[in-house]
Amino acid sequence: MANAETTFADRLGRGNLLKSICEALDPAFAPADAENTPAVFQVLLDSCQTKNTAVENARTLYSTGAVERRVLVKNFKTISGRTLTNCESVKAYKPFAKTVRQVVRRISNYKLPKKDKPQDPNKKKRNRGTQSYAELENLFRLLFDTLTGIPGYTHTEPTLQLPQIEIAFNDYKAKNTAMTAKEAAVNLRVKERFDVYNNKETGLRDRMKEIKKAVRNQYGTHSTQYLSVSGIKL
């Protein structure tokens, strides 16, 4: 059964088509099971639409957060480069420049994935994107701890002094935590949507199948009524 992202809206569209045809059948469609009536079927269709929207909203929040996190990464990379220059140019800090350089080099050379996307819960392999941002957080922490260990470390630029660097690090750490929650929300909404479409007996696919059977039962296999719905894909 196809479950590519674009198919969910298509499947909902076919469900709406089936309902519209059943409402227009003459004589009136009157299935024995109440859940197959157009009115009750509409409740399921509404639920499918709600789940589609929930997935879209969760993914939008994730995407927006991902852009914001990349901005924070860029900002911290700039900060790290400036701290290295500071250590290399101030006599009192030069003994620590080699250590700072090693950390900064790892930060500046760190390549992020081209696209940010939530971890697929069905795959055991860890999401490279999630792993990258967690590793960067550790590197940012290491840089801050290294600078904190330099006696009297400061910078002529206020935004590059230790308190501001700590704020930048905490902002990034908080964003990583928030992104973990956003990723979990996406995965939860995707699962909920999958269930409402594919759950046995109560899902959209099986409900459409049962409605088509009910039409055949009421009007006959070779009836124009049944032929009007038989070709609708599940």
Report the candidate in 95, 82, 74 with the shortest Cα–Cα distance to residue 162: 82
CA dihedral 108, 111, 115, 118 (to 10 degrees): -100
pLDDT band at residue 5 using 50, 70 and 90 as cut-offs = low
pLDDT above 80 for 199: yes
Distance in angstroms (rounded) separating the CA atoms of residues 134 and 77: 15
What pLDDT, in 10s, does the model give residues 40-87? 999 999 999 999 999 999 999 999 999 999 999 999 999 999 999 999
Q: At 12, is the secondary structure helix, strand, or coil?
A: helix
What pLDDT, in 10s, does the model give residues 110-161? 888 888 877 665 555 555 567 789 999 999 999 999 999 999 999 999 999 9
Note the pTM of the prediction, 2 decimals.
0.84
Q: What is the mean pLDDT of residues 157-169?
A: 97
| 4 membership: H or E segment, kind and range | none
138-175: string of b/e by CB count within 10 Å (b at 16+)?
A: ebbeebbebbeebeebbbeeeebeeeebeebbeebeeb
